[in-house]
């Protein structure tokens, strides 16, 4: 199904037209909780992009070379979540060993990523749409980059709103959801650019 699609088209589509958060609602929890501050939002965006890119490819190999030959496809949710958790743990150890500075700035977000819906969502989309490994890699990267772009933009907008007079019941989550809605509408404007969803 996805074989004839150009991987770069998939990447652009994943980043802009079918953005993880704005059109698939994936990764909302941390999206709302962490977008108060531009710097931390940037750190989380970077971490999500990195993990999403690599776990997508990793799970692609696990699915096609281990689960399918063994006929264990019904276990895939459990296996995928274990792969993601293990990868995040491994990444944490590697970053801690080689770049303590990066570890300190990124460290707190890494454990959060295991339960970020965007990661598992990216993997499941790749399996359902039957991407090849290369398509999966670029799809993972594009999705992550799109998520990163969206959280940084949201954090910047929220920073501007801090001083504004918002109805008290709408303050916090309510107004954030409305901002996300308007951003999602703006991203729909990209949809003419790429012919696939």
Note the residues at the interface with other proteins (CB under 8 A). 22-29, 32-33, 74-75, 77-78, 81-82, 85, 114-117, 119-121, 124-125, 128, 167-175, 177-178, 180-182, 184-185, 188
**60-69 contacts at long range (C-beta below 8 A, 24 or more positions apart):** 60/126, 60/131, 60/133, 60/136, 61/133, 63/127
* Burial group, residue 25, by CB count within 10 angstroms (0-12, 13-18, 19+): middle
Kindly state the helix (H) or strand (E) to which residue 51 belongs, with its residue range: helix 38-61
Least separation in angstroms between residue 101's CB and other proteins is 27
Residue placing its CB nearer to other proteins in the complex, 152 or 183: 183
* Least separation in angstroms between CB 99 and other proteins: 25
What is the DSSP code (8-state) at residue 140? H
Between 99 and 197, CB nearer to other proteins: 197
49 close to 43: Cβ distance less than 8 angstroms:
no
The least distance separating other proteins from the CB of residue 192, rounded to whole angstroms, comes to 14
Q: What minimum distance in Å lies between the beta carbon of 150 and other proteins?
A: 12
Output 69 or 168, the one with its CB closest to other proteins: 168
Q: Which residues contact 2 (CB under 8 A, 6 or more apart)?
A: 10, 129, 130, 131, 132, 135
The closest of 107, 101, 61 to 88, measured between CA atoms, is 107
Closer Cβ to other proteins, 100 or 174, answer by number: 174
Given the complex with other proteins, which of 74 and 98 has the nearer CB atom? 74
Minimum CB separation of residue 19 from other proteins in Å reads 9
């Amino acid at each position: 199904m996805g074989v004839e699609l150009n991987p770069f088209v998939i990447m652009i589509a994943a980043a802009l037209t079918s953005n993880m958060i704005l059109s698939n609602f994936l990764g909302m929890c941390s999206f709302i909780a962490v977008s108060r501050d531009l710097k931390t939002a940037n750190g989380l965006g970077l971490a999500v992009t990195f993990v999403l890119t690599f776990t997508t490819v990793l799970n692609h190999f696990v699915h096609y070379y281990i689960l399918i030959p063994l006929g264990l496809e019904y276990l895939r949710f459990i296996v995928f979540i274990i792969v993601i958790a293990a990868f995040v743990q491994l990444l944490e150890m590697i970053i801690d060993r080689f770049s303590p500075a990066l570890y300190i700035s990124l460290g707190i977000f890494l454990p959060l990523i295991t339960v970020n819906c965007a990661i598992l969502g990216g993997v499941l989309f790749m399996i359902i749409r039957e991407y090849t490994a290369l398509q999966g890699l670029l799809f993972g990267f594009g999705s992550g980059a799109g998520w990163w772009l969206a959280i940084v933009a949201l954090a910047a907008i929220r920073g501007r709103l801090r001083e504004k007079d918002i109805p008290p019941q709408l303050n916090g989550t309510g107004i954030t959801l409305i901002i996300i809605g308007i951003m999602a509408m703006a991203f729909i404007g990209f949809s003419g650019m790429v012919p696939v969803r």
